[in-house]
Amino acid sequence: MGEYGPEHLQWSGGVLAIPFRKYARPQISYLEKVEMDALLASPDRQTTQGTRDYATLLFLYNTGARASELAQLTVSDLQLDKSHKRNSFVTLHGKGDRTRICPLWPHTADVIESLVAGRSLRQHVFLNRSGQPMTRFGIHAVVERHAANAAHQLPSLNRKRVSPHTIRHTTATFLLRAGVDINTIRAWLGHVSLNTTNVYAQIDLEMKARALACLEQSNPSLRRRAMDSDLMQFLRSL
């Protein structure tokens, strides 16, 4: 603006100096263990659709995959070690054509192996009732349907909007609680920036509660040592 109207230099400088308004980061929703267990227990695994739905929920929980990553997954992306299931893993194709490898729990490997039995490497892993690849909208529908069903047994689910991304947040939170370092979680979820992953450290109330408990110790020397170890380590992760 100064190039075309020098008389506006002072005015435009004042406008540019106005600070941006800071907005609070929206609270991330995740499921507690009992809620995740209720969600996984919802599908009727005696039916073909229920088996597919259970595999969908379990895979999302194991990998923290996005709905779009699950929708494009093919059999060739799976590496299922039949002799040692703990060596099984999956290659996920994320945003910007970035790929990442995620380990599969032995139980997940068993469930997925049964799901794709007899399919060629080029076929998709998750299919709808017509035998066509599931879309991300279909995956959302699966999660929402079983969340509504599980809420009949666990009313706390009624207070949460459960989606595939909620399960992704749940995976990240549980990994953090299990002691997995934040950089490993970043790679697990396929985040480009560590700042994106750091939000999970801020929402984990259990870790904050443990940190605050350090302050309640009656012995000052013990309190100081606890602050130096547990609390300071926690604060550095934020």
What are the strands, taking DSSP E only, across the chain? 78-79, 89-93, 99-103
Helices 33-41 and 48-63: angle between axes, nearest 10 degrees:
150
Domain boundaries, the chain: 33-194, 205-236
Mark whether 160 is an active-site residue. no
Asked whether 201 and 176 are in contact (CB, 8 A), the reply is: yes
**The CATH fold of domain 33-194:** hpI Integrase; Chain A (1.10.443)
Query: What's the CA gap between 157 and 147, in Å, rounded?
Result: 7
pLDDT at 222: 46
Mark whether 236 is an active-site residue. no
pLDDT at 127: 97
Mark whether 54 is an active-site residue. no
Cα separation values, 67 from 1, 15, 54, 126, 137, Å: 45, 42, 15, 11, 8
Mark whether 191 is an active-site residue. yes
pLDDT at 37: 97
Pairing assessment for the beta strands 78-79 and 99-103 based on DSSP bridges: unpaired
Catalytic residue among 52, 124, 146, 165: 165
Mark whether 200 is an active-site residue. yes
Residue 199: name the closest of 231, 164, 169 by CA: 169
Catalytic residue among 30, 52, 54, 66: 66
pLDDT at 190: 82
Q: How does pLDDT run along the chain (238 residues), one tens digit per residue?
A: 556 666 666 666 666 767 665 545 556 789 999 999 999 999 999 999 999 999 999 999 999 999 999 999 999 999 998 777 678 999 999 887 889 999 999 999 999 999 999 999 999 999 999 999 999 999 999 999 999 999 999 999 999 999 999 999 999 888 888 888 778 888 888 876 666 666 666 665 555 566 556 555 444 554 445 444 544 454 444 4
Query: What's the CA gap between 140 and 183, in Å, rounded?
Result: 28
Residue 39: name the closest of 185, 126, 164, 177 by CA: 164
Asked whether 131 and 150 are in contact (CB, 8 A), the reply is: no
pLDDT at 184: 81
Asked whether 95 and 168 are in contact (CB, 8 A), the reply is: no
